[in-house]
Amino acid sequence: MNPSGTEQIFSQYSTCLYRPGSLMRSLPWPIKAAYSGDEIVELLWSTILKLERLLGKFGQDSQILEDSVLIGCSEQQEAWFALDLGLNSSSSINASLQKAEMETALQGSFIKLTKALFELNVKDASLLSTAQALLRWHDTHQFCSRSGQPTKKNVSGSKRVCPSNNIIYYPQVAPVVITLVSDGTRCLLVRQSSFPKGMYSALAGFCDIGESLEETVRREIAEEVGLEVDRLHYSASQHWPFPNSTLMIACHATVKPGQTELQVNLKELEAAAWFSRDEVATVLRRNNLSNQQQSGAVPFWLPPKLAIAHQLIKEWVEKPTCSPLPA
């Protein structure tokens, strides 16, 4: 704990968020965040000068600041940048930045990006999500796929250009639909083997080339649980940085009450089941309690508040009578 009684935490991906200029504060991250007693987490920003000093202390050339990407700006129009310090990559030129020593220097500790993301407020989580997706895209698009030559990042990081043929590469986003299926009184929750233990969520799937969102919803639901969609309507969307940059498009869908028998595709899902509104409402309420997983009292749990799946499920519990449009 630091003198103000606040424990500082960082994500394991060791990105720094900062903004240039005399008034800037910078944020070592994925993240340096403050974790207070009442479980509110906020990002801490420090200046680029502090960041340069820190890099110097760890034997790094401040030249790596040029790898920074623009992720947004404040209401006062101060630019915010993110930088990957390369703490996790053994092949990285920055690998000599030692995590433990960095934690000591920053008076904090690194935590997983997924954990940090769910503990931040919506605005900060969005910055973090943008930083992760953009930095990862740059890391994996270092070469031109036509000429094989190294590509060059522009100053803001909004694109990369091949100097030999001027081909421009822009960051990519894959569209994914996430759908909460209901039969009118119950909703369908599923789990993949990769989910954290005990967690159930809505059904998700990548859009195939040539498909509309409506077609993806119908195909994914048919493929994964063998149901035919009767009606669907759009709810909301969210950028999601894992495993790569995706745009999650959230929908509600209904199936006809008489056609609810599940044929679970066990290659894609570990389990799928119908749950009553009361059951889901109870789990949603307990989801917000601390240590609910350890209590053993909850049969399953739902994605955290910030996940769009959570919003979809909450919406269904709170607005049971919404009337979807024909698909």
45 binds, among ligand NDP, Mg ion, none (CB under 5 to 8 A by kind): none
Strand, coil or helix: 171: coil
Q: Are 55 and 122 in contact (CB under 8 A)?
A: no
Half-sphere exposure (Cβ direction) of 71: Cα atoms closer than 13 Å:
29
Q: How far is the CB of 133 from ligand NDP (least distance, A)?
A: 12
Q: How far is the CB of 35 from Mg ion (least distance, A)?
A: 33
83 binds, among ligand NDP, Mg ion, none (CB under 5 to 8 A by kind): none
If binding is defined by CB under 6 A, does position 248 make contact with ligand NDP?
Answer: yes
Strand, coil or helix: 116: helix
If binding is defined by CB under 6 A, does position 201 make contact with ligand NDP?
Answer: yes
Mask of contacts with ligand NDP, 106-125, x by CB under 6 A?
--------------------
Return d(Cα 297, Cα 306) in angstroms, integer: 23
Considering only 20, 171, 205, 324, the residue that binds Mg ion (CB under 5 A) is: 205
Residue whose C-alpha is closest to residue 24's, from 54, 42, 47: 47
If binding is defined by CB under 6 A, does position 241 make contact with ligand NDP?
Answer: no
Three-state secondary structure string covering 188-199 = EEEECCCCCCCE
- Considering the complex, state which of residue 116 and residue 176 has its C-beta at the smaller distance from ligand NDP: 176
308 binds, among ligand NDP, Mg ion, none (CB under 5 to 8 A by kind): ligand NDP
- Considering the complex, state which of residue 162 and residue 221 has its C-beta at the smaller distance from ligand NDP: 221
- Considering the complex, state which of residue 18 and residue 240 has its C-beta at the smaller distance from ligand NDP: 240
| Residue 325 Cα distances to 59, 129, 214, 253, 322, angstroms | 60, 32, 12, 9, 10
Q: How far is the CB of 320 from ligand NDP (least distance, A)?
A: 21
Helices (H), ranges, the chain: 48-57, 99-106, 113-119, 122-139, 213-225, 277-287, 292-295, 308-318
Residues within the interface to Mg ion (CB under 5 A): 204-205
Give me the residues that bind ligand NDP (CB under 6 A), please: 174, 176, 178, 201, 204-206, 220, 240, 242-243, 246, 248, 268, 303, 307-309
